[in-house]
Amino acid sequence: MKIAFVLSVFDNPKQANCFIQQAISYKGSTVFVHIDAKKQDIGEQIIKDKNVIVLPKHFDVSWAEYSQIEMYNYLFSSVLEYGKFDYISLNSGNDLFIRPVKDFIDYLNDTRLYAYYNCEPLPKSYWQFRGGYGRIAVWWPKCMLRRLPNHHPLRYLRTLYGQLYHYHLIPGRKLPDNIRFIGGNDWFTISQDCLTDMMGYINSHKEWNKIFYHSYIGTEIYYVTLFEMLKGDRPVCDKNNLRFVDWKPRGQKKNTGSPNILTMECLQDIIDSKRFFGRKFDCRKDQEIVDYFMTHYL
């Protein structure tokens, strides 16, 4: 089986290299790496290997902006141009395998699904702004689309702006009636058929991208909506994206909406999850847990 791991790296090449080492320990792996334009120099620190491709183009990616979608689509287009794979897995530079790579390959071989992701139809009860519709129906100013400290004034302004839409005090644009919008997670594993269908739709429906130009965290709607639209009668796993993410209150200082950095405190929960990937790790915060999974699953 041939697997393409599609990796977005914003900083911390040491951490990204840990995942890359794990991935290429399986001989059928190819890792495609995008380095953010703000950190182009770290590309030289990425592992040199015939199965590691550091892409030449660098997008200046900002959290919650359309630039994330542009960057992901560049990665996916690069995979299609390179060759044919059985599966394509979208990961970040802060991921690690938390089970042997062989277990992941065996699972894909045994199940052979169209795609593996998490999703629910909009409106989602726990998403702001009319259950998530405000993310794409409202025109979001760039100044609000930044990762902000919890008590930053612009964070409050962003919430207020979204609430005005929620309570019908400002209009949103009309969304296409023929599309059933889905919300979920923007980390997933998809088959070659899914990738081909997805990029074919994106390239032939220019109006699709226009919906997301001024969206707020549009990545969490863009891809899973396409998967649900294009799957037809092919089987999918739409409630498990194969990744462990920790949201427990552990006293970490972090932005609202961000998962915990995985530490040794999380170890038993990680193991018990029986997922294949964990996110997010940071060797600058806890080298011990990174060493644990590198030792056991490399």
Cα distance between residue 270 and residue 263, in whole Å: 10
Per-residue pLDDT, 15: 97
The secondary structure element, H or E, covering residue 210 is helix 206-210
- Kindly report, residue by residue over 136-155, the tens digit of the pLDDT: 999 999 999 988 888 899 99
Token reading at 95: 């991921």
Asked if 29 contacts 97 with a C-beta cutoff of 8 angstroms, the reply is no
The pLDDT, as a whole number, for residue 55 is 98
Residues 150-173 as b/e (b if ≥16 CB within 10 A, e otherwise) read: eeeeebeebeebbeebbeeeeebe
With residues binned 3-state (H G I as helix, E B as strand, rest as coil), the percentages for the chain, rounded to 5, are 40, 15, 45
Any idea what DSSP says for residue 194?
H
**What are the tens digits of pLDDT across the range 52-90?**
999 999 999 999 999 999 999 999 999 999 999 999 999
> Would you state the pLDDT for residue 205?
96
* Predicted pLDDT of residue 258: 83
pTM (global) more than 0.85: yes
What per-residue string of b and e applies to 56-80 under the rule 16 or more CB within 10 Å gives b? eebbebeebbbbbbebbbbbbebbb
Collapsing DSSP to helix, strand or coil, 148 comes out as coil
Query: Low-confidence residues of the chain, pLDDT below 70?
Result: 255-256
Residue 259 DSSP class? P
Closest CA to 242 of 85, 53, 104: 104
Between CA 133 and CA 166 the distance in angstroms is 9
DSSP characters over 158-185: HHHHHHHHHTTSS--PPPPTT---EEE-
Q: Are 283 and 263 in contact (CB under 8 A)?
A: no
Whole-angstrom distance, CA of residue 6 vs CA of residue 34: 8
Q: Tell me the two tokens of residue 148.
A: 């902000």
- 43 DSSP 8-state letter: G
